[in-house]
A and B are shown apart, each in its own frame.
Chain A
Amino acid sequence: MSAAGLEVGRQTVADRPKARRRYGLREWAIIATGGLAVVSLLRIVTGAEDIDSSGALIAAIGLAVPIGLAGLGGLWSERAGVVNIGLEGMMILGTWGAGFFGYHYGPWAGVVGATFMGMLGGLIHAIATVTFGVDHIVSGVAINIIGLGVAKYLAARFFADLPGGGPTQSPPIKDLPDFTLPGLSSWLGTIESKGWFFISDLASVLRALCTNVSALTIIAVLLFVATYFILWRTPFGLRLRSTGESPVASESLGVRVLRFKFVAVLISGGLAGMGGSFLALVAANIYRDGQTGGRGYIGLAAMIFGNWRPGGLMTGAALFGYTDAVQLRGGETVHAFLLLFAVILLAIGVWQIVRNQRLVQGIVAVVVGVLVGVWYLATDSVPPELTGTTPYVTTLLVLAFASQRLRMPAADGQIYRKGEGG
C-alpha cells in the first residue's frame, strides 16, 4: 500500500515537449478584464445584483483566505513529496489553538498559537511519514481522527467553565485589526450603486479590496508571495522541490532529503493551523466544534486545481471562496451562473464540432449545455445543498478533463528512505 498507488491509467508525459506559452502580466490583465466584463453582462441580463456586489466579494475574500492557507500548507508539503490529507486535522487543531491562546493572550497570540498547534499536527505527520516511512495517506487519515478528537477534548476541558464559553465553543475573542481606506471605499461604493456596465463592477471589486481587509488576509497574501519566492527563487526552495521530484538525485547531490521533507511538512502544518485561526478569529471570533467544515479538503482541492503552483492555488482558493460566498447569499445568484455555463458549454460544443471535428464530445457538450439552459429557464434558484458541492465538482472536472495539463511533483506520495539511491 503506497500512496503512489497503481500505475494504471496514469498518463505518461507526451514525447513532444509542447512549448506552452506562459501567461505574462498583460495576458492575465486581459483575462481579468474580459472575465469582469462577462460577469457584468451576466449581472445586467439576469438582474442578480449580488453576483459581484462588494458585499459578496468581501465575503468571498473572507472565505477564500482559510482555503488558500490550507492549500498553501498542502503546497509546501507536496512540493517536498509528502502527500498531506491531514490538512483538515491540522486546521481543526489550529481553530482550537486560536480559541485558547486568543482568549487568554489576545488575538495575535491566537494566530501564533494556532500556527503552533498546526505545526504539532505537522510534526506528527512528519515523524510518521518521513522518519518512519508510514504511508502518507494512512498517516493523514490518522491525523484527521486525532485532530478532531484533540480539539473537541481540549475544548470541553478548557472552555466549558469560562464565562461565555461552553463544552463545544470558546468565549468570544477580541478582533484582529482590519483596514479600510475610508474616503476611497465610500466613493467606490457610490459608483458601484449606479449599476453602470463594467465601471460599477470594477468599482465593487476595488471596494472589496480596500474595505474591512483583515490583517490576517494581508499576512496570507504576503505568505503566498513569500512562498513563491522561497520555493522558486532560492537555493533552499530548489532543494526542497528537488526532494519532491527526485529524492535519489537530490541526495546524490548532497541535499539532506529527509531534513528538507521534515521542515516542509512542519511548515505545511503551521500554514494549515493559521488557516484555522482565520476561521476562529476573523470569520467567527469564537472557536466552535466542526468549524472547519471540510475546508482542509477544499484547500487540497484548490491546490490540485492550481496545478501545485501558488498562483494557480490562489485562483482556486478565490474561486472556491467565491462560490461559497455566493451560495451563502442565496440560490438566486448561483442561478445566474447557470446561464453563463449554458452559453459556455454551447460554445465549446460548437467549437469542438466545427473546428476540431470531434463530433461526440461536441454533441455531449451541446446537449449538456441545452440541459443547463433548460434548468436555468425552468427554475428560480439552485438548492443550497448542491451549490455547496461546487468546489468538489469543479476539481473532479478539472482532473478529468485537464489531467494531461496537471503535473504533480514526480515523487509525490512516495516513501523515501535515506540512502535509497545506493
Chain B
Amino acid sequence: MRTLNLRRILLSVAAPVLALVVAFVVTSLVLVAVGDPVAEVWKTILAVPKPRQVVNIVNAATVFYISAIAVSVGFRMNLFNIGVDGQYRVAVFAAALFAGQGYLPGWLNIIASILVAMAAGGAWASIAAFLKVKRGVSEVISTIMLNAIATGVVSWLLVKVAAREAGSNTIATKTIPESSQLEGFQLVPGATNRVYTLILLAIVVGVLYWFVLGKTRFGFDLRATGHSESAAVASGVNVPRMVVIAMIASGAIAGLVGMPLLFGQDHNYGTTFQAGLGFAGIAIALLGRNNAIGIVFASLLWAFLDVQSNALQIQAGVAQELVNIIQGVILFAVVIAYELIRRADKRLEQTRVARELAAQRNSGAATEGAPA
C-alpha cells in the first residue's frame, strides 16, 4: 500500500511537470510556425524576475489564490461555480461603495467592507443556488448568465452613483478614505512597490479552507456529496441544503477576490477594475487539484507567467497574449495527464483486487475441498 502511495505522490508531481514541458514544446512549435523568435521569447519569460516583478507576482498570485479557493469549494462537491467573475464584480462594487462612504474609521471600515463584500458575493451566488435546488437549473448555465447580468447591472449602478472627478472621464465610485487605504508590506528587499496587506486575507482563507473542508464534519459531508451523492444521501446528508451552503460560501469567498486590489491599489471601483479573475480561478483550482497548498503553487505559476509576459512586446516583439496560449496548453495538458493517471491507477487497482480475489478463491477451494 505504501509503495502505491509513494507512486501516487510521484505521479501527481509528475503530471504538472509534464504539463509544463508539453506547454513549452507546443508554444515553441506555435512560435516556430508563425515565425517568431523562440529563444527571445523564452529568455524573456524565464528570466529571473526583478524585485519589483517579484512583488507584482506575489500580488497577482494573492488575488488568483482567493479566486481559485472560491472555485474549489464548489468543485469539492461537484458544483461548477463559473460565476466567480460576476460574484466578485458585484461584491467589490458593493464594498467600494460602502467603504467610500467612510462610515467607520480605519480598520473597522475595512473589516466592515469585507463583510459587505462577502454578503454581496454570497447573495449573488445564492440566486444560482436556489435555481439549482428549487428549479433544477444547472449552475453552469445560470452562473454564466449571472456573470453577464452582473456586468450590466453593476455598470448601470456605477453610472448612477459615480463620483465624477474634475478633468477626468473615468467613471468610478468615491475613493475610500485615506485612513482605510492599505499601503502594504515591504517584504521584498530592493523593491519600491509593496506586497498587498490583504495577502493576510488570502492566508486566512487558505487555512480556513484546509481546516473546514479537511477537518470538520461539514467538510466531510461536503466532500462525500461530491464523491457520491447517493452515498451522502444514505448517510443522512441533506444535499439541497449542502448545495445552498456550498454555493453561498463559494460566492462569499469570491466576494473577497477584489479586496486586495480595492484596498491596496485601486481605492475605488471603476471601469478599469481588473476583470476575468474568475476564469483564471477555475484554471488555477484545476491545476492545484483543489488542494490548499497545491493552489499556492498554481497561482504563483499563473502570476509568474502573467507578469513575465508583460515584457514580451518590448523584448521579443511578440504580443503578450501569447501567455494565454501557454496557460491554456498547461491547463489542457494537466487535466489530460490527471485523467490518464486516474485511469491507469484504476486499472492497476482493479487488477490488484482481481488477483487477490482469485488467490482467495483458489485457497478457499483448497481448504473446503470438493463437494461431496
Q: Chain A: residues with CB nearer than 8 A to chain B?
A: 1-3, 5-11, 83, 85, 124, 128, 132-135, 137-139, 141-146, 148-150, 152-157, 167, 294, 297, 300-301, 304, 383, 385-386, 388-389, 391-393, 395-396, 399-401, 403
Contacts and interface: CB of A to CB of B under 8 A. Distances in A.
A399 B239 contact: no
Given A3-B140, A399-B137, A400-B131, 10 more contacts: A3-B80, A5-B139, A8-B132, A9-B133, A142-B331, A144-B279, A153-B321, A167-B319, A386-B152, A392-B152
A148 B239 CA distance: 37
A227 B6 CA distance: 52
B279 A141 contact: yes
B80 A137 contact: yes
Enumerate the 4 nearest inter-chain pairs by beta-carbon distance, A residue then B residue, closest first.
A149-B324, A146-B328, A156-B319, A385-B156
A176 to B, nearest CB: 27
B136 to A, nearest CB: 4
B319 A152 contact: yes
Interface of B: 34, 36, 75, 77-80, 82, 131-142, 144-146, 148-149, 151-153, 155-156, 159, 225-226, 229, 239-240, 243, 279, 282-283, 286, 318-319, 321-325, 327-329, 331-332, 335-336, 339-340, 343
B175 to A, nearest CB: 23
A245 B322 CA distance: 39
B291 to A, nearest CB: 14
A385 B155 contact: yes
Given A152-B319, A157-B36, A389-B152, A399 B79 contact: no
Contacts of A150: 324-325
B136 A85 contact: no
B40 to A, nearest CB: 14
A137 B79 CA distance: 11
A96 to B, nearest CB: 12
30 contacts: A3-B80, A5-B140, A8-B240, A9-B135, A9-B243, A10-B136, A85-B140, A128-B332, A134-B332, A139-B332, A139-B335, A142-B331, A145-B283, A145-B324, A145-B328, A149-B324, A154-B34, A297-B144, A300-B144, A301-B144, A388-B152, A391-B148, A393-B145, A396-B142, A399-B141, A399-B142, A400-B131, A401-B135, A403-B135, A403-B137
A403 B78 CA distance: 21
A312 B255 CA distance: 36
B78 A132 contact: no
Contacts of A399: 131, 135, 137, 141-142
B205 to A, nearest CB: 21
Given A132-B339, A403-B136, A392 B148 contact: yes
Contacts of B138: 5
Given A134-B339, A152-B319, A396-B142, A9 B134 contact: yes
A9 B136 contact: yes
Contact of A141 (B229, B282, B324): B282
A400 B142 CA distance: 10
Contacts of A7: 229
Contacts of A149: 321-325, 327-328
A142 B331 CA distance: 7
A180 B153 CA distance: 39
A9 B133 CA distance: 4
Contact of B145 (A2, A383, A392): A392
Of listed B141, B282, B283, B339, residue having the most chain A CB within 10 A: B141
Contact of B82 (A141, A301, A304, A391): A141
B331 A145 contact: yes
A388 B134 CA distance: 27
Contacts of B283: 141-142, 145
A145 B23 CA distance: 14
A385 B271 CA distance: 13
A139 to B, nearest CB: 7
Nearest to A156: B319
Q: At the interface, is chain B mostly helix, strand, loop or mixed?
A: helix
B85 to A, nearest CB: 11
Contacts of A2: 78
A392 B128 CA distance: 13
A166 to B, nearest CB: 12
A294 B325 CA distance: 19
A400 B319 CA distance: 43
A134 B336 contact: yes
Nearest to B326: A149
A138 B286 contact: yes
A85 B138 CA distance: 13
A139 B329 CA distance: 11
Contacts of A392: 145-146, 148-149, 152
A186 to B, nearest CB: 38
Of listed B134, B138, B149, B343, residue having the most chain A CB within 10 A: B138
A137 B134 contact: no
A420 to B, nearest CB: 12
Contacts of A5: 78-80, 138-140
A73 B82 CA distance: 21
Given A5-B140, A152-B319, A385-B159, A124 B332 contact: yes
A386 B156 CA distance: 7
B332 A389 contact: no
A287 to B, nearest CB: 14
A400 B145 CA distance: 12
A145 B279 contact: yes
B345 to A, nearest CB: 14
Of listed B77, B149, B327, B343, residue having the most chain A CB within 10 A: B149
Contacts of A401: 135
Contacts of B229: 6-8
Contact of B78 (A1, A144, A297): A1
B328 A389 contact: no
Contacts of B322: 149, 153
Nearest to B127: A396
A128 B336 contact: yes
A263 to B, nearest CB: 21
B300 to A, nearest CB: 18
Contacts of B153: 385-386, 389
Nearest to B241: A8
Contacts of B152: 385-386, 388-389, 392
Nearest to A83: B140
A137 B80 CA distance: 8
Nearest to A136: B140
A148 B226 CA distance: 31
Contacts of A143: 328
Given A156-B319, A301-B145, A1 B156 contact: no
